[in-house]
Amino acid sequence: MDASKASSHETPTRGRPRSFDEAAALNAALDVFWRQGYEATSLDDLTQAMGLSRSSFYSCFGSKHEALLRALRVYADRSVDDLTAIARDAGSPRAALQRMIGAMVETQDTCRGCLLVNCITELANHDPAVQTVVQQHIARIEGLMAQTIAQAAPPGTAPDSPADRARALVAITVGAITLSKAGLPGDQVQSALRQADRLLPDS
C-alpha cells in the first residue's frame, strides 16, 4: 500500500492526544532498521515493534522513510555524545583519539554493524536525504577529531592539517567497521586500524 494514500485515510483527527511514548517507539524503529535494513523492513514490522496502529504511525512519523531519518538522527546524536564524552575525559589528545576510534569499532554489533555505515551501503548513493544525514554525521565526527588533533599543537604554533588528518582517521575507522561486518578476523581489522597510529599526534 502506498504510504501517502494510506495516510489520507488513516491519520487520526488533528489534535488527538498521543497515548504512546514517542521516544520509545522511535527506539524500537531504530532497532528494526538496524537489524533488518531499510528495504527489508515492512510497515507491519515497524508498527508491531513500535506497538502502534498504522494511523498512529502515520500521524507521528508520516512515512517509513521519515521514521528512518529520525532514527538515524537519534543514532547519530547518541554516537557523537558518546565520543564527545570520551574526548573530554581522556588524558591527552592522542589517548582521546585512540579511545574514540576504539569505541567506534568495538561498540558496533558484530552482526548488525553500524547503522549509519549500513545506510551508506544500502541507501546513500540514491537517497539524498539519507546521504545528507550521513554526511552531517561524518562532518561532526571529523570536526570533533580535528579539534582534538589541534589541541596537541604546541602553544603559538599552527596545527598540522587537523581537518585532513581527521578525515583520514574517519575513513580508516569506517573501513574497519565495514571489514568487521564482512566477517574478517579481528586481527585483520586491528591491523588495518593500526595504520591510523601514524596520523595521531605524539601526545
Task: Answer for the pair 157, 98: CB distance below 8 angstroms, yes or no.
Answer: no
Q: Please state, in angstroms and as integers, the Cα–Cα distance from residue 168 to each residue in 92, 101, 196, following that order.
A: 20, 12, 8
CB 177 within 8 A of CB 114: yes
Residue for cell digits 500500500?
A: 1
**In this structure, which topology does domain 3-12+19-62 adopt according to CATH?**
Arc Repressor Mutant, subunit A (1.10.10)
Sequence letter at residue 160: D
Report residue 135: phi and psi, to 5°.
-65, -40
* Residue 112, all three cell numbers: 548488525
Which of 53-57, 120-124, 136-140, 143-147 is the least confident region?
120-124
Domain boundaries, the chain: 3-12+19-62, 66-198
7, containing H or E segment = helix 3-10
| 107 Cα distance to chain centroid | 12
pLDDT in tens, 37-46: 999 999 999 9
- Highest average pLDDT, of 15-29, 116-130, 157-171, comes from 116-130
pLDDT in tens, 65-118: 999 999 999 999 999 999 999 999 998 999 999 999 988 887 665 567 789 888
Confidence of residue 12 (pLDDT cuts 50, 70, 90): very low
Hey, what CATH topology would domain 66-198 get? Tetracycline Repressor; domain 2 (1.10.357)
Take residue 182 and report the three cell numbers written for it: 564482512
